[in-house]
Structure 1
């Protein structure tokens, strides 16, 4: 099932790429694992294991990404995941299966030139493909405007503002809202990047806190085309995971 979804999303990426840029496409299939744990204001923790098969296609001005995840959730019965986590109130249970497919497209508004401020506009969608009890069962959308401002040959400031629309499950009403990110990237080598980002989202459910997280990361690219990305998550409010860690291995063609 996951393989068929990945083939479908790869086909969608091919269709979206402008025909004039097909010859300049760089492909990066990847596999990753992400683990997070938090109480989200409940008496018991909810643990989420997210393991996506990903595909990225990049041209000089466009970037397309798709992911098909395996999902494992351990937490109070009734907990809901899928873009957000809403804790349940029953006994602790474990369930697993296919998660929601995500797809995004990003366009460089300014021709990429070293040392110049870069602006990009992106949009994404989360499709309700998750197995029963592993998602909200609704489609979510988001848009964002991002910027990269070089400070030197090694340091770059990054930031974005956006908006997210969440589909409403039958049991409760989720709140749409703005998102934002600010960060700094350090390129110690042409193929090695390290950085940290702070991300924000307004409250997605009545009575919940706003989301605020700190995310350190690194990415190392080998001469042979392999890429290793690692990151962490530290939640600063009750509506975020307390801690999280992730690792992605990709191959650039």
Structure 2
């Protein structure tokens, strides 16, 4: 089966492509570097010819509110037009758990807009909403720096390993379209500030983590359950300790 992965050379895309290739699928890892651009439309028609499944793992190069909204809306519109012409039978889009619960966050608003375009496209689809990745904990700590401390919400957090995300995305891509949303998360849930403090301690980072209910997460306030699944979710298998051990062995 021909499967096109938009953003196929990124963190999740490269892992997903490897899994699907091992299962003997014809995988195209599409990106601007390979001549496929979902914003300009360059290379899309040729790339999608004969494809049964498209996995959209694309990400905006800018996180500025207007730019990220334009990116996801333009990309989604171009993809759905090209997919309809190519007869694609399943569109899989990676989104974010809680994206519709934190409207102050411009990136989350853009993902909601993308989801709506996917849902109205007419192409059978599955939206996979994921919690944050373990791989980005360091960047989250940096974003919370204020007054020489990392200030973070005590709201619940349930990060997931990129390897688990890729495995689930690959599995979803090979299954029948849900025409709905699947939430995925890591196996462990704890307060946001505690998980980041645990990470900083593990890497030997002496920065203090301060619990602050008013702390913003990339512009949005975090409630107790803003960033975790509210109902049924598919959980990854890799907890923090296992992920950290693997990440250190690759360093």
Structure number having the greater helix percentage = 2
- Normalising TM by the smaller chain, what interval? under 0.3
TM-score by length of 1: 0.27
TM-score by length of 2: 0.28
